[in-house]
Structure 1
Amino acid sequence: MRRRHLLRGLATIAPVAAAPVVAPRRAAAQDAAAYPSRAVTMVVAFPPGGQADVVARPVAAALERIWRVPVPVVNRGGAGGAIGNAFVARAAPDGHTLLMALSSLAVLPEADRLYGRPPAYTVDQFAPIALITADPTLLVVRADAPWRTLEEFVEDAKRRPGQITYSSAGNYSTLHVAMAMFASAAGLDLLHVPYQGGGPAMTALLSGTVQALSSGPGPALPHVREGKLRALACWGARRAPGFEEVPTFIEKGYPEVEFYIWAGLFAPAGTPAAVQERLRAALRQAVADPELRRALEAAGSPIDYRDGEAFERFFREDSARLIRAVQRIGKVD
């Protein structure tokens, strides 16, 4: 309060002294007009090959064409995504370090709280920029697996509790939460084998190290097309594009089993609003790029673009639902 009176007095005595107060705003506007002034790093908090990586690379290439500056994709995997997420949370809020995040962004801090650990980061350390894709996950198994339908998988799992293994991108990752939802609804005891990202989790399935995986359509599609994997069910409210023959869990009598693996772009909190808007303007241009659209559609992840309040509302609602799911899962041994 005393400082407010002092500033008011200075403004009355010497109006010219107020000029430095507005100077930072002018500097921020100038910075936004020049943005990006150098390479923009797009961090993926997982190893190559997972859903975030599948989306990030064509988006980064489209932004490079628009901005005429490098947009390298940097994979900072580990701790189910927490390491890369925390790196961006602490980055300079100038728009030159971005995060292509998955829905696990809100899950991991809640998991830390379950164990009484201080979270590696919190969601309020990020500014939501735009949603790029939102795909239902798929239950996939090897093509030589004995299960041709979801019913056969469930029946076998009930006969052999704790013996059917599935991989994930780490404890409380999107791939883990989706499978935990299904296992709980079906009354199954499946053996969870966490990896350091969706790419290694897929490799484990392809090699036969594990027997099942909840995967985004993008990473699964080429292996299904090549006859290496079989999709048994879909976590969406409707059948997934490109997988029209695959039934949803809802169709199969599991009305609560619905899950989407989305990819969205975030900047560190405190990034100037003008820079955020320039980012969104570039992304709107990018998602209209036929090359980007073809790349994501070929990967099985068609664009579902939302920004501003629409994305913020989506992020809040989805995060609340996933946090409830993590609380139901509880601690993982």
Structure 2
Amino acid sequence: MPSRDFSLHGAIDLGARQAAARKQQERRAQGGGTPAGTGAGGAAAEYVVDVTDQTFNAEVVERSQSVPVLVDFWAEWCGPCKQLSPILEKLAAEAAGKWILAKVDIDANPQLGAYMQQMGVRGIPFVAAVVAGQLLPFLNGAAPEAQVRQAIDQLFEALVKEGLLLEAPEPGEPGDTPAVDPVRQQAEDALQRGDLDGAKAAFEQMLASDPRDAGAKQGLAAVELSRRVRDLDPERVLREAAEKPGDVQTQISAADVEIAAGRLEQAFERLLSAVRSSAGDDRDAARRHLLSLFDLLPPDDPRVTKARRSLQSALF
């Protein structure tokens, strides 16, 4: 599978999210829509969403905590995009909520376009899958419907195999459905609404019941990170961190900005450097913050394992 790096791509902006939703509704009411139109008509509307630089985190990353999101990077001038888009919209409608299609116009959203290039992608159409906040490169270039359908099926099989997605239960007798944890559902619903306080409370309740709940621990860590970075100016924070290498609190904020942008290893190394170069309370603050960032990833993630070894070396 591709890299498990994830991105919180900026602060959650509920006002921008609501404005984007209104704009999307207006476009559909006027017969507009995505570059090739909504191939599945109104049936696709609730499963296809236009996202922007400002709404990517709320509409894609947070939503991916409860349902996989395929992100279609496109542009009006891109001919192959107009071939692939209606196929994706049709399949999203058929999936009926199994996954959501998010569409990004890279010309109108330069930050997301630049982020796509940072992943090593040099052309469009390009489709990424975001699952539980983890961004996975998926499709590069247009393809026939049968091939796209097969690729999506293979993606879901791989996600289940890697434990990033629960396998769909086998059909049973009518009414024979597994019970849904109401607190977990409460957390997922809060994330979809962009309600970080509500999600935090739900995740904390889950951990109070089971301190070993890895999913709740990751969810809480992601919420806490979102709360810390939503009012930060990334460029200013990183500039100040370069100007004040000995200021541990500034380095902690810079690490948050880096990890929110998907630069996990840089964030880990920044805090490891702070641990090595500081002492007393500052050293302990850097250590504790680094440990809190480990909770964003599965405990067996090789980057966490490597950083833990480096932390032990720095401390002892």
TM score, norm. by length of structure 2:
0.25
TM score, norm. by length of structure 1:
0.24
Question: Which structure ranks higher in relative contact order (CA pairs < 8 Å, sequence separation ≥ 6)?
Answer: 1
| Larger helix proportion of the pair | 2
| Larger strand proportion of the pair | 1
